[in-house]
Amino acid sequence: MIRPAGTNTIGVSYVEGVVSAADREKFFDFLNTSAALRNQQVATEGIPVDTAYQRIVVRRDSKKAAWHRPLPDRKAGFAELEARLWKLPLQAQRAVDLRAVRQSGWYE
């Protein structure tokens, strides 16, 4: 499995490791039995377009910086999916070069 090294390193730092068979099976069981995920499935793949966003504006020394960020929806089934992915323990963890990840055939 390859994932960001932490929640604050997305797009910056990644790690690779192996998930034990027991942990992997527990995760797949969750995917197969989660009512929340079944209720959120759509006919085609895609991303949510009606997502709540927070607009942050910082004004300092006559300069303005602004950005948007999605607000977390901790009640959604995908929030539990994300939490479970982060909690999967990685064995034999090592750093991975982001360029190598992006150049791999399965990245797209």
pLDDT tens digits for range 31-60: 888 766 666 555 555 555 556 677 778 877
Q: Of 15-19, 21-25, 45-49, which range is least confident?
A: 45-49
* Residue closest to 15 by CA, chosen among 93, 100, 68, 74: 93
DSSP-derived 3-state class of residue 75: coil
Residue 89 located in a structural domain: yes
For range 54-83, the mean pLDDT: 76
33 lies in which domain range?
A: 2-41+50-103
Structural domains in the chain (count): 1
Residue 20 located in a structural domain: yes
Residue 108 located in a structural domain: no
Residue 36 located in a structural domain: yes
C-alpha 45/C-alpha 47 separation (Å) is: 7
